[in-house]
Amino acid sequence: MSETIALDIAKALQTNGLIEADRLNGLSVAQAFDVQKAVMSQLKQSATTFKIALRKDGTAVGAPIFSNRSVSNSEAIAISDAGYTGIEFELAVVLKSDITASMAAHGVDGILPAIERFIFGFEICATRFSDPQVADENAHLADNMSNSAFVAGNENWAGGVDIDGADLTISANGETIFAAKAKHPFGGVLAPILAYALADDDKIGLLKAGNIVTTGSLCGLLKASLPATFEASVNGAYKLRATLDR
């Protein structure tokens, strides 16, 4: 089942097509992760960038962002209109060592030594579903948690885990589309990483040294028509640009 679904998702990614979400509804978490891995294998892709999130029940899930879809500040990346849902501005961590369950058992202090630095990034969001509103949460998980690409910043955020309340401004093609205080969605930058590590079941290698792990939108989901150049600034000092071409 996982292999068949993975073939369909891989084909959708290769052709900028869409599939019906109903086919994926009812998957278990383990099956959804199996689909993620099978899609990556089908496409002969790898990942050193991952996204992570906390569900309402407190469990954490993650997904790879393919290496050929992860670029640096100001680099342009092609995005298909099909399935594109918008962008999210996020705070990510770069890991200098693996994070284990035994480290996470000591809370934030236990995992901070594994973090080399904090950086900002734009996550480009897209679905492979023609009817995403009917997809259940594990269907979305199997669909790489609706990611399309990631643009990583090259400035280190000196504030570490302290991001709530920072002044965040985002523009699209020169027009301001967000100007408010940054707010992390999961109650703390490291909360989803702690929950994921404590589960001690890293099916996709998310917590490995050298990875970038992006931890959740500081502005919600923002949308502007493509092509577009997005620019963000934090406290008027930290800058990030993402150029999305068709």
| pTM of this prediction exceeds 0.75 | yes
Q: Per the structure, how many domains does the chain have?
A: 1
Between vectors from CA 69 to CA 66 and to CA 75, what angle results, nearest 5°?
150
pLDDT of residue 105: 98
Distances (CA, A) of 190 to 95, 108, 160: 12, 7, 10
Q: Considering the chain, what percentage of its residues have pLDDT values greater than 90?
A: 95
Quote the CA–CA distance of 105 and 145 in Å, as a whole number.
26
Sign for the pseudo-dihedral over CA of 18, 19, 22, 26: negative
Quote the CA–CA distance of 153 and 122 in Å, as a whole number.
8
At 27-49, the pLDDT tens digits run 999 999 999 999 999 999 999 99
Quote the CA–CA distance of 163 and 161 in Å, as a whole number.
6
At 194-203, the pLDDT tens digits run 999 999 999 9
Q: Work out the number of other CB atoms within 10 angstroms of the CB of residue 225.
A: 10
Give the pLDDT band of residue 2 (cuts 50, 70, 90).
confident
Q: What is the residue range of 74's domain?
A: 2-245
Nearest Cα neighbor of 240 from 152, 179, 124 is: 152
Q: If you ran DSSP here, which 8-state letter would residue 163 be given?
A: -
Average of per-residue pLDDT across 44-68? 97
pLDDT higher than threshold 90 for residue 20:
yes
At 118-176, the pLDDT tens digits run 999 999 999 999 999 999 999 999 999 999 999 999 999 999 999 999 999 999 999 99
Quote the CA–CA distance of 146 and 134 in Å, as a whole number.
14
Summary count for the chain: helices (H), strands (E): 6, 12
Nearest Cα neighbor of 91 from 201, 240, 198, 243 is: 240
Nearest Cα neighbor of 7 from 34, 43, 31 is: 43
Domain of 25: which CATH number?
Answer: 3.90.850.10
Q: Which two tokens stand for residue 26?
A: 């009812």
Is the Cβ–Cβ distance between 204 and 52 less than 8 Å? no
Quote the CA–CA distance of 29 and 204 in Å, as a whole number.
12
> Which contacts (CB < 8 Å, 24+ apart) does range 109-116 have?
111/190, 111/193, 111/194, 111/197, 112/190, 114/209
Quote the CA–CA distance of 205 and 184 in Å, as a whole number.
24
pLDDT higher than threshold 90 for residue 1:
no
Task: Tell me whether strands 212-217 and 49-54 are parallel, antiparallel or unpaired.
Answer: parallel
Listed in order, strand segments (DSSP E) in the chain are 49-54, 60-65, 70-72, 76-78, 84-95, 115-126, 147-156, 167-172, 175-181, 212-217, 228-234, 238-245
Give the pLDDT band of residue 74 (cuts 50, 70, 90).
confident
Q: Considering the chain, what percentage of its residues have pLDDT values greater than 70?
A: 100
